[in-house]
Structure 1
Amino acid sequence: MKLATVVIEGIETAGVIDGGLFYTMESIRDQVEGIPNDLNTFIEQSSEWLPVLAELDLTDAEGVAVESLQFASPIRPNKNIFCIGKNYAAHAREFDGTPPENMIVFTKAPTTVIGHKQPISLHAEVTNELDYEGELAIVIGKKGRAISREEAEDYIFGYTILNDVTARDLQAKHQQFFLGKSLDGSCPIGPWIVTKDEVGDACDLEIETKVNGEVRQSARTSLFLFPIDEIIATLSKGMTLEPGDIIATGTPAGVGKGFKPPRYLKDGDVIEICVESIGTLVNKVQS
């Protein structure tokens, strides 16, 4: 099942995508009384509403063509986005040649989040080294702490695509990740969330990033140094994960900084990130 948030007449509206059509939660309420009207609440109550939605016949509901939609981020995170650094050995090698022994974790501020086809600001006033990072992102579905690797799957609601846009010069200048990772609008997410049952084996998905049609990144999630169950178990050891939390799982080799000379983003560049079983996230850089 695909769930999205779109902008209709200036208002963000959640709904379901089925057969190339988007059905708002408001229209679904005609058949299902009380269904939440935003995806944050829906995910929090997903154990109640997902089975109902899965059985719903939408043939008589009024849908809107997906091609005509203006997308927002599927959800608005209530706290920072969790990110895993250097989770592909080849990406670690293109930086300093040393894959990490332990998981690298950093975060991006909620104000970074934008949706599919929304513009990425070049932020030329603060950076000359804006870079892309295509990633698979996990969406947590229920509250948990000290989650075992064996239980991790039970806490996943679904998956989406995320671009961990990074100002490399800020990252180097401040000797940490947060400022370079948290420029406004530097975290495109979407176009939608796909529930885990429809994604299948998220531990072996193809991921590809193109810039202006040129393939820059190409890998499979089977190459993760730290797989999804270990990521969830590690993050939750002493910290509570909550419904709607977003975890970016790391980017493959081929980022702009890894080229010689580096190939950073510039005004007008179009980034397309495709993840198997999920879709394609597209954003354009604007000054």
Structure 2
Amino acid sequence: MKIANFSVQTEQHIGLVIDDQIISLTALCPEEFPACIKKFIERSGELRTRAEQIIEQRVNDHAIFKLSEVNILPPIAKPDKIICVGLNYFDHCKETGMEPPESPVIFSKYANAIAGHNDAIEIPINSTEVDFEAELAFVIGREAKHVSEEAADDYVFGYTIMNDISARDLQFQDGQWSRGKTADTFAPFGPVIVTKDEVGDPHNLAISLELNGEIMQDSNTSNLIFTVPKIISFLSQSMTLMPGDLIATGTPPGVGMGRNPKIWLKNGDRMNVSIEKIGTLSNHVIA
């Protein structure tokens, strides 16, 4: 199941993406499916079955839209938490000159950083070294506290794509990463959340980033240092993860700061982040 948050004119919907169309659950049954994916996640055991039943019984023209006709929104408008894992591919550690970590390196982004598919990424006025990072992200499906690695998959709702935009000059000026990682629009993600049953093994997915038509990053999630279950278990020992929390798993090699000469994002650039079985997240850059 590929679920998306979208708008048509002034009306907001949640819907299921099938090929080049999206079927609005909100249009079919607004009393059961308000336009909020987070609420869908919180009741996913009940609502997933209900969504399948409704689509089989009641699909009609007023609930079917072409993807080209709608505005795809960030799947979750305001997650309780946006947690990111740094230095989680060996080759990325090498290109940044850092040793592979012994445990996950954790930092956070805030809701102001959220952007959606086809949204603009804004270069802050106080940065000249803004970078890109293709990442597999996952969404927590139910409250998780003190979870073992063996049980961790039970707490995943699904997977999506994030581009962990980073102002490297601010990141390294400060000695910690918050300011450089969470400027406005620095957490574009989407365009859909794909339920875990449809993704299968999250540790065997092709992942790439294309900048202005040129491949910058090209890897596979099999190269992750810390797996999704390890990350969930590690985090849940000290914090309670909640439905709708968004967790990004780190970026493979090929980022702008690791190149010679370095490549920084500039006005007019366009990025496409693609992950196998999920899709492509596209964004353009404005100064």
TM-score band (shorter)? over 0.9
The one-letter code matched in structure 2 to 1:41 is K
Deviations 1:214-265 (A, max 9, x none): 1100111111100111000001012100000000000000000000121010
- 1:99 corresponding residue in structure 2: 100
- 1:54 corresponding residue in structure 2: 52
Runs of 4+ in 1 over 4 A off after TM superposition: none
Contact 1:16 1:22 survives alignment (8 Å): yes
Which range moved further: 7-16 or 266-275?
A: 7-16
Deviations 1:115-149 (A, max 9, x none): 000110122x1100000001000001101101111
Contact 2:80 2:244 survives alignment (8 Å): no
CA distance in 2, matches of 1:126, 1:8: 35
Secondary structure of the structure 2 residue equivalent to 1:135:
strand
Q: Match for 1:37 among 14, 35, 44? A: 35
Structure 1: stretches of 5+ with no match in the other structure: none
- 1:245 corresponding residue in structure 2: 245
CA distance in 1, matches of 2:73, 2:211: 21
Q: Kindly report the root-mean-square deviation, in angstroms, between the aligned alpha carbons of the 2 structures.
A: 1.4
- 1:148 corresponding residue in structure 2: 148
- 1:157 corresponding residue in structure 2: 157
- 1:282 corresponding residue in structure 2: 282
The one-letter code matched in structure 2 to 1:118 is D
Please list, as runs of the form range in 1=range in 2, the aligned pairs for 1:210-225 lying within 5 A after superposition. 210-225=210-225
The one-letter code matched in structure 1 to 2:162 is L
CA distance in 1, matches of 2:52, 2:148: 28
The one-letter code matched in structure 2 to 1:120 is I
Deviations 1:33-83 (A, max 9, x none): 523431011111111111222343164353000122211101123333100
Does residue 254 in structure 1 map to residue 272 in structure 2?
no
Structure 2: stretches of 5+ with no match in the other structure: none
Which range moved further: 95-104 or 238-247?
A: 95-104
- 2:23 corresponding residue in structure 1: 23
Matched length: 284
- 1:89 corresponding residue in structure 2: 90
CA distance in 2, matches of 1:93, 1:35: 46
- 1:193 corresponding residue in structure 2: 193
CA distance in 1, matches of 2:70, 2:195: 20
CA distance in 2, matches of 1:80, 1:179: 16
CA distance in 2, matches of 1:26, 1:36: 6
Does residue 230 in structure 1 map to residue 226 in structure 2?
no
CA distance in 2, matches of 1:89, 1:11: 44
